[in-house]
Structure 1
Amino acid sequence: MDQVQQIHSKGIYHGLPTFSDDVEGLTAIVAGANGMSGDHMLRVLCENPKRWKKIYAVSRRPPNGQWPSYVEHVSMDLLQTPETLAAQMAERGMKADYVFFFAYIQPKPKEGGDIWSAADDLVKINTQLLSNFLEGQALSKTLPKRVLLQLGAKYYGVHLGPAAVPQEETDPRVLLEPNFYYPQEDCLREFAQKHGIGWNTTRPSWIPGAVPDAAMNLCLPHAVYAIVQKRLGKPLEYFADLAAWETNQTLSSGQMNGYLAEWAVLTDGAEDESFNASDDCAFTWGKFWPKLAARFDIPWTGPSSDLSLYREIETPYNPPPRGFGPPGKLRYRFTLAEWAKKSEVQHAWQEIAQAHQLRDQTLGDIDRIFGFTDAAMTWSYPIHFSTTNAKKFGFFGFVDSSESIFKVLEEFVDLKMIPPLPPVKSVS
């Protein structure tokens, strides 16, 4: 049977869903509201105050910036007991039609390990966050119609080595080591079944987005690297190898993820479904690197053909998550974390930050901030999310990932995290 669906564009975001004017007067809870994903979820919901009359922004610290009066911050520590959380919910009169859950705690990595190496701690802490919140809702008798939980690319085991591509929502779980997304997903499904409510999960990849907290931010280290290299009279030097340069990577812009999440909970036929969250845009570092250099008006260099210049790390499992073939090999000549620890870099940044009165005149927790981008830049095997499932259900959102990153950089300027960008050069 033929179906006609109306979509629209909003700035750089295209193929966005439309909703009936009858969908109005809704209430929402955004848990983890001051993080990158929660912040962008708030932005999406606040675009239509007729549709969303009340939004509870749940986080220990207030959400970033100024929000409309119908956004109410509720300071909650989700590691408290369900009984304590239920009492807080009852006291504040929190009753939501829909819940968007983004709360996340990143435990300290194991000594010498990558940012996700504390797998057991990740499972324990983050499953507890979700379970406490859900049980608090049940105890306070404020169950929503549906809960959406954001998971991520690690669902496919890509942090452990090459996974089967394209990554599809029906792919089997990767059980090589504990993965907190799996008990979180089980917790939500079991809770929803027990209480007769709906659920959704989304799975983004690397997320471009702008919030003051620089941790796990893909874009900020790129900006700092370009700004300081230009100050030092040096090129924008790509430090990983040709494989990482050419490999397709899915990016999942925070704003587009929010549009997907809103659509998912408001679409009856999408209940109890998981969706990959993607810009739906082909992206490689090789195509982006010259664009980044041009935006900062700085020369650039690509990967070296001399493999003797590279250090090499092999992913930990043989066979890797795809179940056959060799592990992945990650090669790099240096890392951004190493670069950021150089005295000349730190001195240059301090001068830049003081001159422009930036919010942070140091480079912060370098391993935590720059290590995340190092991981993305050295990735030598594809993250290629299928968007077939979302399209079959009616979501066609798209954004050019490069345009999204540049929009994020402009927002960093507004947040006083980086100095103003050079003027965009016109093409003659």
Structure 2
Amino acid sequence: MGSSDRSLYNVLLTLATYALICRHERAPFLFPGSSYMWRHFCDVSDADLIASQQIWAGTTPSAANQAFNCVNGDVFTWRSFWKALCELFRVEFVECESEGGAPDWSSRMAGKGPVWAEIVEENGLKKTRLEEIACFGAVGCILNFGFQHVSCMNKSREYGFVESVDTLKSVAKWVFRLREMGVIPRD
């Protein structure tokens, strides 16, 4: 997760555009993943944390020529993540009831470019096209994993990198930055 006006594989930016499109169309903000992912633990990486770890790895002699995972260091459920998104984008929270996910989500959202253009125009946002800032296919795949996605930061910690990020606070931080950049509406 991070802030960029051309960050195609940013899970948060893709979900932000989805929430804003749902709000604009007065459509329910339904979780486009499986009930398995809704209930089980997952993790993500904050862009600032990745940058910090890269600087650390590049300037710490004992970290030379080593490979490290980089995730926030906590876990969350998509249910809790969805609640945070609902609050930030003022859309109604709806429990996930889908057993198999939403395979048509990507194709349905691919046709929402004109809706995004309306949102951009109405809010005076940076001129972006939906396909430049959202990757519904990749995010749809992530939200339909059939396994818990949790990476381990133990090796980084053993080598001395001990920073971590609270994922739900990170969501709010990046949404605020995207608003400040004019990529998404301020409200």
Residue number in structure 1 paired with 2:47: 254
- Quick one: which of 106, 130, 155 aligns to 1:337? 106
Structure number with the bigger relative contact order (C-alpha 8 A, sep ≥ 6) is 2
The structure carrying a bigger strand percent of its residues is 1
Partner AA of 1:363 in structure 2:
L
In 2, Cα distance between equivalents of 1:280 and 1:348: 36
In 2, are the aligned partners of 1:340 and 1:363 still within 8 Å (CA)? no
Following TM superposition, where does structure 1 have runs of at least 4 consecutive aligned residues deviating by more than 4 angstroms? none
The verdict on how the C-alpha distance between 1:270 and 1:349 changes in structure 2, with shifts beyond 3 A counting, is: closer
Shift of residue 396 of structure 1? 1.0
Q: Which runs of 5+ in 2 are unaligned?
A: none
Report the equivalent of 1:381.
Answer: 147
Whole-angstrom CA distance in 1 between matches of 2:146 and 2:63: 34
CA contact (8 A) 1:217 1:372 kept: no
**Partners of 1:273 and 1:410 in 2: CA distance:** 34
Q: Map Cα deviations across residues 364-394 of structure 1 (whole Å, 9 max, x no partner).
A: 358x722222122222312211111111122
Q: Which residue is equivalent to 1:153?
A: none
2:44 is the counterpart of 1:278: no
> Match for residue 176 of structure 2?
410
| 1:109-258 paired onto structure 2 within 5 Å | 208-258=1-51
SS in structure 2 at match of 1:413: helix
- 5+ residue gaps, structure 1: 1-207, 308-330, 422-428
Aligned partner of 1:397 in structure 2 is 163
Return the structure number with greater helix share: 2
- The residue that corresponds to 2:125 in the other structure is 358
**Matches of 1:414 and 1:245 in 2, distance apart?**
30
Larger radius of gyration: 1
| Alignment RMSD (CA, Å) | 2.1
Percent identity between the aligned chains?
21
Once the two structures are TM-superposed, the CA of residue 285 in structure 1 deviates from its matched residue by 0.7
Q: Report if the CA contact (8 A) 1:214-1:369 is conserved.
A: no
How far does the alpha carbon of each residue in 1:387-417 deviate from its partner, in whole angstroms, 9 at most, with x for none? 1111112211110112212222222222322
What is the number of residues matched between the two proteins? 187
TM-score under structure 2 length normalisation = 0.88
SS of 2:68's partner is strand
Displacement, 1:269? 2.3
- TM-score w.r.t. the length of structure 1 is 0.41
